[in-house]
Amino acid sequence: MRKTVFFIFLTALVFAFIATISMVSAQKKPAEPMSIKLEGGKLPAVSFSHITHTEKTKIDCVKCHHKDKDPKNPEPCIQCHLIKEVKDNAPIAKEAYHKNCIECHKESSAKGQVAPTKCNECHKKQQG
Ligand code: HEC
Ligand code: HEC
Ligand code: HEC
Ligand code: HEC
């Protein structure tokens, strides 16, 4: 009897272990499209599509997820880019986003692949 109980316990332990490993190695999936809005922000949220940027336009993950050990399993930008203060040289979130998003869009538009560069093209009023 004791032996059986111990065996069941051991089996459960092995399954729990396997489940944990597979959860850790599973890739996080970003929402599609995602809606980006900084806490306390006054403008409408910005819609961002990974499909547009990584499948339609073949941009490497690391181009945006630039400081992650594994850019395929990134931390949110605000982990390092705080809303109000510069930390470890990392510009505040609004500047980091604007520099990343708008610089590339300007370069891309100049080369003929049009991408939004005006305020209300990104900070779009929600319909309805
Ligand atoms: C290419 C897209 C893009 C364009 C163009 C753009 N922004 Fe942003 N902006 C963002 C993103 C992304 C954020 C971070 C998410 C958020 O809170 O909106 C942001 C954040 C902000 C914030 C801080 C959050 C808030 O709502 O108060 C302000 C202010 C802002 N933008 C103003 C502007 C102004 C003014 C312009 C035009 C001169 C502009 N943005 C153009 C993408 C853009
Ligand atoms: C053009 C810029 C850009 C590219 C390229 C990009 N991402 Fe992202 N990704 C973002 C932004 C912006 C966010 C929102 C981050 C935030 O919440 O602060 C994000 C969020 C994510 C998240 C959710 C993170 C979380 O925990 O909230 C995952 C997962 C992710 N991206 C994976 C990827 C992978 C995998 C690739 C490459 C195939 C990729 N991204 C390419 C800009 C990009
Ligand atoms: C793990 C921390 C970390 C994460 C996550 C992170 N950054 Fe940064 N970022 C930094 C640091 C630190 C700097 C300061 C400059 C440097 O060391 O390159 C920086 C600088 C920048 C710059 C300025 C680069 C320049 O040439 O002036 C931009 C733009 C930027 N980050 C955008 C982003 C965006 C967009 C995201 C999310 C998709 C993001 N970062 C996620 C740490 C991070
Ligand atoms: C390295 C280049 C690059 C970066 C960085 C980048 N984009 Fe783009 N983005 C593009 C290109 C190229 C297009 C045009 C794609 C097409 O042909 O439709 C685009 C299109 C878009 C569009 C319009 C199409 C759609 O999917 O709705 C939005 C909105 C947008 N980007 C938001 C953002 C935001 C927000 C960021 C920053 C978090 C960002 N992008 C960063 C290159 C970039």
> What pTM was estimated for this model as a whole?
0.91
- Report the pLDDT value the prediction gives residue 20, as an integer from 0 to 100: 54
- Report the pLDDT value the prediction gives residue 107, as an integer from 0 to 100: 98
The CATH number linked to 32 is 3.90.10.10
Task: Establish if 17 belongs to a structural domain.
Answer: no
Q: Using a 6 Å cutoff on CB, does residue 90 contact ligand 1?
A: no
CA 47 – CA 32 distance, rounded (Å): 9
CA 98 – CA 128 distance, rounded (Å): 27
Q: Separation of 65 CA from ligand 2 center, angstroms?
A: 6
Q: Which residues of 57-84 are buried (b: 16+ CB within 10 A; e: fewer)?
A: eeeebeebbeeeeeeeebeebeebbeee
pLDDT in tens, the chain (128 residues): 667 666 666 666 666 655 555 555 456 789 999 999 999 999 999 999 999 999 999 999 999 999 999 999 999 999 999 999 999 999 999 999 999 999 999 999 999 999 999 999 999 997 65
- Report the pLDDT value the prediction gives residue 1, as an integer from 0 to 100: 62
Residue closest to 66 by CA, chosen among 79, 82, 57: 79
Q: Separation of 2 CA from ligand 2 center, angstroms?
A: 51
Atom index in ligand 1 nearest the CA of residue 115 equals 1
- Paired strand residues for 87: 90
Task: Establish if 10 belongs to a structural domain.
Answer: no
Atom index in ligand 3 nearest the CA of residue 100 equals 29
Of 35, 78, 108, 126, the residue with max ligand 4 atoms within 8 A of its CB, to mutate for a pocket test, comes to: 108
Q: Separation of 101 CA from ligand 4 center, angstroms?
A: 7
Task: Establish if 62 belongs to a structural domain.
Answer: yes
Ordered DSSP codes for 9-72:
HHHHHHHHHHHHHHHHHSPP---SSEEE--TT--SPPEEE-HIIIIIIS---HHHHSTT-SSTT
- Give φ, ψ of 111 to 5 degrees: -90, 5
Please give the residue range of the domain that contains residue 73.
28-122
Task: Establish if 57 belongs to a structural domain.
Answer: yes
Count how many domains the chain has: 1
